[in-house]
Amino acid sequence: MRRRCLRSLGALLLLSAAATAPSVNVVQAPSADSDTSTDLPPVIAPGGQTIGSPHRGGTLRLTADAGAGTADPQINYNSEMISLQVVVYDGLTAFAKRPGEASNQPVADLAEALPPPEDGGLTYVFHLRRGVRFSDGREVGVQDVVASFRRIFKVNSPTAGGFYGGIVGADACLKDGLHCTLAGGVVGDEAARTVTFHLTHPDAEFFDKLSFPHAYVLPADTPARDLGNDAPPGTGPYRITSYDPNHGLTTERNPFFKVWSPEAQPDGYPDHITYSFGLTDEAEVTATENGDFDYMYDNVPLDRYGELGDRFADQVHINRVFGTYYLPMNVNLPPFNDIRVRQAINYAVNRRAMQTFYGGPAAASVLCQNVPVGLPGYEPYCPYTKGADFDHPATEWKAPDLARAKRLVAESGTRGMHVTLVVPNRAVEVAMGTYLQNMLRELGYDADVKPIAFAIQFTYIQNTNNKVQISINDWYADYPEPSDFLTALYGCENFHPGSDSSIDISGLCDHPFEDLVHRAALVSVTDKAAGAKLWAQADRLLVREAPDAPLIQFKKIELVSKRVGNFYTVNLYHMLFSQGWVR
């Protein structure tokens, strides 16, 4: 257990008040003695253009404990990098750069408009904007779009099958990515400047998937391999000039950027955005309090809440996100290849303790199912609490049922087995891991905890060659739909043995579940309410199968320096870095 600050109660009261405010996505500006103070809520510049603004200029300095993997936008699946890449790259569509719930809506980006579906939802014809240029000066053309979608499969993007497998020709590309053509699926017409998509079935989430970063448009000659530390040219207001995952990242203005849609990609205020890596989360807090950095990416450790509440309250922002912590369990390795053991973990885990480690009720809520609150398909359901079971489920989690968990473990005959829990080496997750180690030991297992650097832990737990039995993972929504917590994390098409890009970490491939989520997706095309009911059924089926133990749904607690103004946040990407004022 980590040391808990005696003053944390005051901070939690502060955070609770902020978390329950009418609008948690648009927060108060810095204090009156800040250079960037204002009484107005954060806003996008008029027309999306910052030229002529007194707040244009300076360097926004970010810090994180480690780099976030590859700089390749079609491969990286880490929110640390994605939240920066959103101001570097664009797709045909984008999630609106608006505050609050409006930021969940796809809008036209490199496309002139969102096209109407044709052929019963099987065809979409996008008209490409003219005059948009990559950061190397070349104009974006039709072949750049076509090549970018082929490249998703050539580089084995983590979402190739899950998000883009419904494009005609994707089946062949998933089998032989190197020779992917998406023949008949993505068709370009240079003269008309159109790109036509043909789907194998209607998809209610097609615009959402096109808005996700793996569908960013890159130059057609971008190599079909992981680019590592070399970021390709993009079309956003910034370009990445250097990246060393051991030290830092730098950006500068894209000299060829011009605003074509304020809600898709507004101009930026800072001249430069930099990332520095290597500080612990404790040191990040101190450095941001002192003004050495303007924003810390990592979670604020619980023992620092007190001082933040007492001395830095106007620099703390709490924002709702569709984010969860959960325990993926490898259904193909002992002891978790026995459903009784997986259900035992769900009964035994003290979700209230997980909530406390993250920061208490103001920062997180306990979660007993996979679809988080706020998404279609969420229906309160919890069989894994004391006094409940599958025949008599509760509507909320109240307390662990250790006695039932021990009986299930005894029935499985797995007591005494060795179990290793893999966790990121950050304060919050290490605290959670230590508690879970003790829980596993109480159930009769020889348990230990293996902390791994955050920069590599996510890919490590995906690769079956590492034989990970159980791990802690957090998950942010790629887009605001239940499929992103069900199909994306547990769909058969997202399990790739021996790969670092295997988002189905548990290895589950359950055909009744597959049939149900596919039916939910199809029904949602024409009837969202009926589709939501089916998503809820799929969630319940998954809860029974127990490939994971849902723990908490969290809020993003963001700490900025005193000088930062116009703190602007969107639901999916946290702080919109291009809109921060540092002068």
pLDDT digits (tens, 9 = 90+) for 499-536: 998 999 999 999 999 999 999 999 999 999 999 999 99
Smallest Cα–Cα separation from 270: which of 566, 562, 72?
Answer: 566
Q: Go through the domains of the chain in sequence order and give each one's CATH number.
A: 8-84+232-319+557-579 (3.40.190.10)
pLDDT digits (tens, 9 = 90+) for 553-562: 999 889 999 9
pLDDT attached to residue 40: 58
What percent of the chain is predicted at pLDDT more than 70?
Answer: 93
Rounded to an integer, what distance in angstroms lies between the CA atom of residue 289 and that of residue 287? Answer: 5
pLDDT band per the 50, 70, 90 thresholds, residue 36: very low
Rounded to an integer, what distance in angstroms lies between the CA atom of residue 558 and that of residue 317? Answer: 5
pLDDT attached to residue 452: 95
pLDDT attached to residue 488: 93
In this structure, the number of other CB atoms found within 10 A of the CB of residue 179 comes to: 11
Under 8 Å between Cβ of 197 and 185: yes
Smallest Cα–Cα separation from 132: which of 107, 112, 103, 105?
Answer: 112
In this structure, the number of other CB atoms found within 10 A of the CB of residue 51 comes to: 9
Rounded to an integer, what distance in angstroms lies between the CA atom of residue 1 and that of residue 442? Answer: 17
* Phi, psi of 230, deg, nearest 5: -100, 105
pLDDT over threshold 60, residue 98: yes
What percent of the chain is predicted at pLDDT more than 90?
Answer: 84
pLDDT band per the 50, 70, 90 thresholds, residue 314: very high
pLDDT attached to residue 35: 38
Under 8 Å between Cβ of 467 and 419: no
pLDDT attached to residue 15: 45
β 316-328/548-559 pair status = antiparallel
pTM summary value: 0.85
pLDDT over threshold 90, residue 272: yes
Separation of first and last alpha carbons in the chain: 41
pLDDT over threshold 90, residue 277: yes
The two tokens of residue 80 are 């640390």
Buried b (16+ CB within 10 A) or exposed e, 452-463: bebbebbbbbbb
In this structure, the number of other CB atoms found within 10 A of the CB of residue 361 comes to: 14
Rounded to an integer, the average pLDDT of 558-567 is 96
* Phi, psi of 551, deg, nearest 5: -115, -65
pLDDT digits (tens, 9 = 90+) for 351-386: 999 999 998 998 999 999 999 999 999 999 999 999
Rounded to an integer, what distance in angstroms lies between the CA atom of residue 457 and that of residue 269? Answer: 34
pLDDT band per the 50, 70, 90 thresholds, residue 2: very low
pLDDT band per the 50, 70, 90 thresholds, residue 6: very low
pLDDT over threshold 80, residue 403: yes
